[in-house]
Every structure is written in C-alpha cells, then in structure tokens.
Amino acid sequence: MSAKDDLKSRLSGNKPGIDAEAIRALSDLLAETGLTEIEVEQNGARIRVARAGAMAAIAAAAPVVSAPAPAAAAPAAAPSSGPQPGAVTSPMVGTVYAAPEPGKPPFVKVGQQVKEGDTLFIVEAMKTMNPIPAPRSGTIKEICVENGSPVEFGQTLLILG
C-alpha cells in the first residue's frame, strides 16, 4: 500500500483527536513526492506537515529580502511615533484582497460602520485565505492598501475610528 492510499484510509475514519498514524502517512507522502509541505482537511479535521529543512530555508531567506527595506523606510518612519491610533495591521506576509472574490463588492468602504469580528480583508499566505477580522467596532476612516497588493507583517491595512 502506498503512502497516499494509507493516508486516504486513515482520513476516512472519524477518530477524534490527533491521529499520529495519519501524520506519519503524510510524512511518508512528503518523502515520496518530494514536496516540502502538505495540508489536508477532511470531516472538519485539518493536519499540516512540513519538512524542517523547508522552514529553515524560508527563515534564512527572510532577513536577506527584508534587510534593504528598513534602511529605506527609516527616514520616513523617524517622524512617526509608532502605528497610527486605530490602525489595523496585517498579521502576516501575503497578498491582501478587499473582496471575497473577483467581481464582488469589497468587504468594507471608507465611512462604513463595522462591528467587532466583521471581516475587513483576506490575506492570502501560502495559498491559504486568512480572514482579517475587525478587532473592535468602529468606522472605517482610511483604507491603506490596494486590492491584490502584497503586504508585510505589521503593515497598516486600514484605520478604524
């Protein structure tokens, strides 16, 4: 039985909790296919397995990519005394989307009232769509990003008044 067939048989069961055998089957599938990361979801259970070497490569590359940015941003950031009051920042690096799908209206507009927990944006990171909820109720004062643009960790997405 291949790792893929073994994984299918393990995920078809409805066992609660962590299934160590399913994790082993996913690890075998990673080795068999040469992938660096795999995530599966079935019956409400989600399992994600990644190779440690892949994460080390990503972590090692990050400082090289981000090193020039602080030097360029330092003069602009000096007059500011931290994030603007009411700033909602990105919790991750990715691509920001203002609407649930292309052609649909945006989640929020300037002047709109939102409640705590309302979806403001979606940030796609590693092919996973992550909703960005409103941290509190308020009015959208300013939208600081464009639909489909890349965002950095901690970058201001919008100002909530």
Last residue of a domain, one of 81, 96, 114: 81
- Res. 54 pLDDT band, cuts 50 70 90: very low
* Long-range own/partner contacts, residues 114-119 (CB < 8 A, 24 or more apart): 114/138, 114/139, 114/140, 114/160
Last residue of a domain, one of 81, 108, 142: 81
Tokens of 16: 């609660």
* Co-location of 92 and 69 in the same domain: no
Q: What pLDDT shows up at residue 11? A: 56
* Co-location of 89 and 75 in the same domain: no
pTM above 0.75, yes or no: no
* Co-location of 120 and 61 in the same domain: no
Greater confidence, 41 or 114? 114
**What's the domain range around 76?**
1-81
- Res. 78 pLDDT band, cuts 50 70 90: very low
User: What is the number of structural domains in the chain?
Assistant: 2
Residue whose token pair is 């009051």: 85
Q: Is residue 33 classed as helix, strand or coil in its secondary structure?
A: helix
Average pLDDT value for residue range 68-78: 44
**Residue 57: what are its φ and ψ, rounded to 5°?**
-65, -40
Q: What pLDDT shows up at residue 44? A: 65
* Co-location of 54 and 87 in the same domain: no
Q: Tell me the chain's radius of gyration from C-alpha atoms.
A: 20
| CATH number of the domain enclosing 87 | 2.40.50.100
Query: Does residue 158 register a pLDDT over 60?
Result: yes
Percent of the chain scoring above 70 in pLDDT: 63
Last residue of a domain, one of 54, 81, 108: 81
Q: What pLDDT shows up at residue 20? A: 72
Average pLDDT value for residue range 115-121: 92
- Res. 82 pLDDT band, cuts 50 70 90: low
* Co-location of 4 and 77 in the same domain: yes
User: 68-82, 89-103, 111-125: lowest mean pLDDT where?
Assistant: 68-82
Listed in sequence order, the DSSP H helices in 43-141 are 52-66, 68-77
Q: What pLDDT shows up at residue 18? A: 62
pLDDT in tens, 6-49: 555 555 555 455 667 777 777 777 677 776 777 777 666 677 77
Q: What pLDDT shows up at residue 64? A: 40
The answer to whether residues 109 and 140 touch, using CB atoms and an 8 Å cutoff, is yes
* Co-location of 19 and 42 in the same domain: yes
The residue type of 152 is E
